[in-house]
């Protein structure tokens, strides 16, 4: 004789499923974040190869963070524009596209310039660049007053495997192809100005660490203070040629 479930039995089954789901969801979320973190590392490795290829064609110099010189042909360029204009990142930007400099950036449906962990908390994800260059050493924003001879070339780096070339930063004002103070960065800014889409401080995205692209092209993770190597925010050893 066929027997139907009673309401109580159905409720018990539903309760068990709910408990199992509650137990599994944290693990699934953690696995998703781990996969996103791996994608971020892969993005950085690709960007590192592109930057090294660019340096090989440009006297061992990395792309500048941005160019705001009044008479420059490249006025309006950001470092991602440099890679796109030079066809290093798979794009073929023309001069006017690379010079375009408006708040909100440009649309890029690829994920190359975005850490998915960081971008997940920002609006207009397809317009984001969550990676920043080392302002102190390689890639400042070039202005009319910039001393170009002060920019360090890769061949002059004393400890390439321990010197930061680029890292991550979340900011509601950071977009692909848009010049502002978030194209490059000092380490104290990473420590204090990592923010969500509402401008609120948030912890580093990868188990309280950031990914770092080093000058030799390899990618690693550190807490921000670890990049100081025991020194101060004003003299961060991994951000300087020491």
Residue 111 C-beta-side C-alpha neighbours within 13 Å: 14
The alpha helices in the chain, defined as continuous H runs, are 7-57, 79-85, 95-99, 116-119, 187-192
Token output for 220: 């690693």
**Digit-coded pLDDT (tens) for 141-177:** 788 888 777 788 888 899 999 999 999 988 888 888 8
Number of independent structural domains in the chain: 1
Residue 148 sits in which domain range? 7-227
> Model's pTM, two decimal places?
0.83
The answer to whether 107 and 126 are in contact (CB under 8 A) is yes
**Digit-coded pLDDT (tens) for 40-67:** 999 999 999 999 999 999 989 888 888 8
Within a domain: 88: yes
Within a domain: 240: no
Token output for 12: 């018990």
Within a domain: 234: no
Within a domain: 233: no
């Amino acid at each position: 004789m066929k027997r139907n479930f009673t309401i109580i039995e159905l409720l018990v089954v539903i309760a068990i499923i709910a408990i199992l789901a509650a137990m599994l969801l944290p693990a699934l979320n953690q696995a998703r974040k781990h996969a996103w973190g791996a994608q971020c590392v892969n993005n950085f490795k690709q960007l590192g190869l592109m930057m090294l290829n660019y340096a090989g064609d440009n006297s061992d110099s990395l792309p500048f963070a941005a160019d705001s010189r009044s008479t420059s042909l490249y006025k309006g360029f950001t470092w991602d524009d440099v890679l796109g204009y030079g066809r290093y990142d798979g794009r073929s930007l023309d001069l006017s596209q690379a010079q375009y400099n408006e708040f909100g950036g440009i649309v890029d449906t690829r994920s190359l310039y975005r850490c998915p962990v960081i971008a997940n908390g920002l609006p207009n994800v397809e317009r984001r660049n969550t990676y920043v260059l080392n302002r102190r050493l390689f890639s400042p924003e070039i202005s009319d007053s910039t001393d170009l001879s002060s920019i360090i070339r890769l061949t002059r780096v004393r400890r390439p495997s321990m010197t930061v070339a680029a890292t991550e930063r979340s900011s509601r004002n950071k977009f692909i192809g848009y010049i502002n103070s978030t194209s490059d960065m000092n380490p104290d800014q990473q420590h204090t100005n990592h923010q969500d889409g509402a401008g609120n401080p948030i912890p580093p995205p990868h188990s309280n660490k950031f990914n770092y692209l080093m000058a030799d092209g390899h990618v690693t993770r550190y807490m921000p203070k670890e990049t100081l190597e025991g020194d101060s925010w004003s003299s961060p050893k991994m951000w300087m040629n020491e």
